[in-house]
Amino acid sequence: MTSCIEPEDMKGLEWASRKLENPSLAARISNLAGTPIDIAIHLLPRAAYKKIETAANSAISKALKVAVSSLRNNEERRSHDASYLGMAAGSGAVGGLFGLYGLPLDLPISTTIMLRSIAEIARSEGEDLSSEETQLACLEVFALGGHSESDDAAETGYYSMRLALGWMVSHAAYHIARHGVGNGGAPILVSLIGAIGGRFGSVVSQKVLAQTIPLVGAAGGAAINLVFMSHFQDMAKGHFLIRRLERKYGREVVKKTYEDLCTQS
């Protein structure tokens, strides 16, 4: 494969493609919980799925308001991954103690913590956090590493996900620039929250299932949240690394090279 992409950037793109196309959250959680989560998740009652979906949509809605209202540039370009992992562990202890019943309290907190970490990663890759488009790109990270029930296999890859969300993201950014978030009830914002929340909910269900295992407890819940946070930090690093390379080389060049890498793997 020939490419104009420099060797160091190619190495980063190879890492990003591995992470984004083969998310390992289920396997990592299974190792912690001692249960094959990707199999056990199909045993969750439908009512539990609905509760998780509602909590995921609510968490994404709150994260959207946080993204638009308080993500700003500052002088430092380094991301503080370890600090956010510690905060996520504290939030996860609640989920470990109360399982599904602790989700309405745990998820908005852990999602906001993750958003802050995602924003720092975005900034470290040269993104402008005062831009509505960048703020929504941070929110897009929650759609990575999972898929909604309405997705088919062709819609689950990284660039397919961006294509599926692209129209909503661009129109939502325009709406927010003109009108702000308000109560989040504008149709385009509701659609975006639902699209991201559906994919995010499928990942949340893996975390919740592990935290409902009786032996997990608070300590195990904290450990599972550490894995959960680390997963989305990896998704963010891959996402914003690719966006930086797109600004440097052009989107079509990076997309073609990325797809070639996926074909070869």
Structure confidence at residue 22 (pLDDT): 82
Structure confidence at residue 16 (pLDDT): 95
Convert 198-215 to b/e letters by CB count within 10 Å (16 or more is b). Answer: bbbbbbbbbbbbbbbbee
The band of 255, judged by pLDDT with boundaries at 50, 70 and 90, is very high
Q: How far is CA 89 from CA 116, 122, 202, 255, in A?
A: 15, 22, 21, 35
Assess contact for 145 and 200: CB atoms under 8 A.
no
- Residue 149: exposure state from Cβ atoms within 10 A (0-12, 13-18, ≥19): exposed
Structure confidence at residue 244 (pLDDT): 98
Cβ atoms < 10 Å from Cβ of 142: 26
**Mean pLDDT of all residues in 237-248:** 97
The band of 118, judged by pLDDT with boundaries at 50, 70 and 90, is very high
Q: In this predicted structure, which of 83-92, 121-130, 137-146, 219-228 has the lowest mean pLDDT?
A: 83-92
**Mean pLDDT of all residues in 166-190:** 90
Structure confidence at residue 247 (pLDDT): 97
Can you tell me the distance from the alpha carbon of 55 to that of 126, in angstroms, rounded to the nearest whole number?
32
pLDDT at 230 over 70: yes
Structure confidence at residue 146 (pLDDT): 63
> Which among 257, 243, 249 is positioned nearest to 118, based on CA atoms?
243
**Mean pLDDT of all residues in 212-227:** 62
Q: How far is CA 248 from CA 125, 159, 241, in A?
A: 12, 18, 11
Provide the H-helix boundaries in the chain: 7-21, 25-33, 37-40, 46-70, 81-98, 103-124, 132-140, 158-179, 187-211, 217-249, 251-264
- Residue of 230 and 104 predicted with greater confidence: 230
The pLDDT tens digits for 43-80 are 677 887 888 889 899 999 999 988 888 776 555 555 55
Q: What is the mean pLDDT of the chain?
A: 80
Structure confidence at residue 29 (pLDDT): 66
Structure confidence at residue 153 (pLDDT): 45
Structure confidence at residue 162 (pLDDT): 93
Structure confidence at residue 1 (pLDDT): 47
HSE of 199, CA atoms in CB hemisphere, 13 A: 25
**Mean pLDDT of all residues in 206-234:** 71
Convert 36-67 to b/e letters by CB count within 10 Å (16 or more is b). Answer: ebeebbeebeeebbebbbebbbbbbbbbbbbb
- Residue 233: exposure state from Cβ atoms within 10 A (0-12, 13-18, ≥19): buried
**Mean pLDDT of all residues in 127-155:** 79
For residue 24, which amino acid is it? S
Q: Is 125 helix (H, G, I), strand (E, B) or coil?
A: coil
Q: How far is CA 255 from CA 11, 79, 109, in A?
A: 15, 26, 34
The band of 150, judged by pLDDT with boundaries at 50, 70 and 90, is low
Q: In this predicted structure, which of 101-110, 138-147, 231-240 has the lowest mean pLDDT?
A: 101-110
CA pseudo-torsion sign 228, 231, 232, 233: positive
> Which among 31-35, 43-47, 110-114, 248-252 has the top mean pLDDT?
248-252
| Whole-prediction pTM | 0.84
